[in-house]
Structure 1
Amino acid sequence: MLESVLRVAVFFIVCVITSVTAQLVTYNQFVNAVTLSSGYGAPSREQYNNLLNRAGNGQITTKRELAMFLANIIHESAGLTAKEEWGPPPAGTYTSNVDRPGKRYHGRGYIQLTYGYNYKAASEALYRDLRLLDNPDQVKTNDAIAWDTSYWFWSVNVHSAPGVQSGNFGTTIMRINGARECGNRPPNTTAARKRIQIYEAVLESFGIAGRSVYCSNPCDCVIPTGSSGGGGGSSCKQTYTVQSGDSFWAIANTYGMTTAQLQALNPEIGNPSAIYPGQLICVRR
């Protein structure tokens, strides 16, 4: 009984998050984000639908975090054209004690899933079965699953990392490929800076680009945005930075408006009760 209740609760939360995300980005914004940032061709309508419809698996509810996610997978997948590790590597690579006989668990998906134990964990979390462990090729052949596993990785490894919700794009690089692009050894800053360039292009395409900055450490880098991804964009003339203990109602009251008026200035904040410290909210256009 308890398990059934928990499943319903999780399903409801995912549906709410997905409905919020579906309001964030238009198809044209998505196409521009991919083509202008990577130079590759336009993504498909199916990819756009999966970007939005599967987003609940990544806990993403703001335009800024969606831009962070998309910028990284554009970089990882050569503009959403590759869903499998180049090669792929020879048999015997990425082995673990949960592997199925004859199956290989090299990188697949937009954020490449590797090792049998990760296929197993993703499969159990997303589908409550072992379908990805039994048939790992689904991660590259089924576009919805490619998005699911990428969002799962984001939810588990990136979404709640310190700094991500306050706009530190460098933290996302650290969490995804920090061993190669960050750290104490000479980092591959060329790749990290390429991610930042893509992110800035995605922000521009999403209509929330702020001023350009140069980060001496690309793995600790906050790119200012026109809004936090809640709304307002570059047309917002005055923003307010949410402080600890703030409520949407209190902010509206401070600026002499109703919560409905404040939400009209920030139409893409789907859940006003979920605002967080460091978030920028438009208070005047």
Structure 2
Amino acid sequence: MILLHRNDGRCPARGFYTYYDAFVTAAGAFPGFGTTGDADTRKREVAARRMHETTAGGMGRPTGRYAWGYCFKEENGGATYCQESTQWPCVPGKRYYGRGPIQLSWNYNYGPAGATEAISVDLLSDPDLVARDAVVSLKTAIWFWMTPQAPKPSSHDVITGQWRALRRRRGRGAAAGRPFGSGSGTSSSPVQSFYHADA
């Protein structure tokens, strides 16, 4: 069962995510989220994004790894996670360890997430806000879902069919554009394949 222990007394985030209200508010800040494609595509996207938030706890947890989603709102013993950057400089004394339902990490994610119109908060100066405000926390999860992280496309573009893989097999020169993961022979090493987004 998904999120079975979300409000369990052993969960540090118990009661933090009043999921429905916070989720609706957060989702409303991202116009393409859950609104792209037909009804089945929209439902698939919302379900798939939610599943990315349910992996807390690990394989050894009682009742399975997915039952403990939303149990944690921040990484235990979080490190600094600061990478030198002129665009997204770390603020002295701040740490950019995993927070929120997807465990947003590193200054190069906190900076652009907070700078988006949908969030509009200086998360470099206040990364703890992701663990204090459920709406901001869920917005960072949706931001990560909606935003391409080079060289990867966004999860949104993949799940809604806006991104297609182009595969060229070494030695054959043949290219076949088809949705990622469709058909046979879709798994190969990165050396044998490359992908691009269809505009």
TM over 0.5, shorter chain: yes
The one-letter amino acid of 1:50's match is A
Structure 2 counterpart of 1:159: 156
The one-letter amino acid of 1:75's match is T
- With over 3 angstroms needed to count, the CA separation of the structure-2 counterparts of 1:80 and 1:107, relative to structure 1, is same
**After the TM superposition, which of the residue ranges 94-103 and 44-53 deviates more from structure 2?**
44-53
Among 118, 127, 135, which residue is 2:126 paired with?
Answer: 135
Question: 2:107 touches 2:124 (CA, 8 Å); kept in 1?
Answer: yes
Question: 2:146 touches 2:157 (CA, 8 Å); kept in 1?
Answer: yes
Aligned length, in residue pairs = 134
The one-letter amino acid of 2:139's match is D
Structure 1 counterpart of 2:20: 48
Question: 1:120 touches 1:133 (CA, 8 Å); kept in 2?
Answer: yes
Cα shift at 1:130: 4.9
Residue correspondence of structure 1 range 188-267 to structure 2 within 5 A: 220=181
| TM score, norm. by length of structure 1 | 0.41
Tell me the C-alpha RMSD between the 2 structures.
3.1
Among 73, 88, 108, which residue is 1:83 paired with?
Answer: 73
Does residue 99 (structure 1) correspond to residue 90 (structure 2)? The answer is yes
- Distance in 2, Cα, partners of 1:88 & 1:119: 15
Cα shift at 1:102: 0.8
- Distance in 1, Cα, partners of 2:125 & 2:71: 25
- With over 3 angstroms needed to count, the CA separation of the structure-2 counterparts of 1:147 and 1:221, relative to structure 1, is farther
Percent of counterpart pairs with the same letter? 30
Deviations 1:42-101 (A, max 9, x none): 585822111122113262222221111111112248411211123223x4x333331011
Instruction: List gaps (5 residues or longer) in structure 1.
Output: 1-35, 172-218, 223-285
**After the TM superposition, which of the residue ranges 79-88 and 99-108 deviates more from structure 2?**
79-88
- Distance in 1, Cα, partners of 2:24 & 2:119: 22
Does residue 63 (structure 1) correspond to residue 43 (structure 2)? The answer is yes
| TM score, norm. by length of structure 2 | 0.57
- With over 3 angstroms needed to count, the CA separation of the structure-2 counterparts of 1:123 and 1:82, relative to structure 1, is same
Residue correspondence of structure 1 range 164-183 to structure 2 within 5 A: 164-166=159-161
Structure 2 counterpart of 1:281: none
Any idea what SS the aligned residue of 1:133 has? coil
The one-letter amino acid of 1:120's match is G
The one-letter amino acid of 2:70's match is L
Question: 1:120 touches 1:130 (CA, 8 Å); kept in 2?
Answer: no
Deviations 1:155-186 (A, max 9, x none): 1131013xx125xxxx9xxxxxxxxxxxxxxx
Does residue 37 (structure 1) correspond to residue 2 (structure 2)? The answer is yes
Question: 2:119 touches 2:139 (CA, 8 Å); kept in 1?
Answer: no
- Distance in 1, Cα, partners of 2:137 & 2:84: 21
Question: 1:60 touches 1:66 (CA, 8 Å); kept in 2?
Answer: yes
The one-letter amino acid of 1:165's match is T
Larger CA Rg, structure 1 vs 2: 1
Does residue 148 (structure 1) correspond to residue 148 (structure 2)? The answer is no
Question: 2:54 touches 2:69 (CA, 8 Å); kept in 1?
Answer: yes
- Distance in 2, Cα, partners of 1:117 & 1:99: 9
- With over 3 angstroms needed to count, the CA separation of the structure-2 counterparts of 1:117 and 1:41, relative to structure 1, is closer
Higher helix share: 1
Question: 1:76 touches 1:111 (CA, 8 Å); kept in 2?
Answer: no
- Distance in 2, Cα, partners of 1:81 & 1:41: 5
The one-letter amino acid of 2:48's match is M
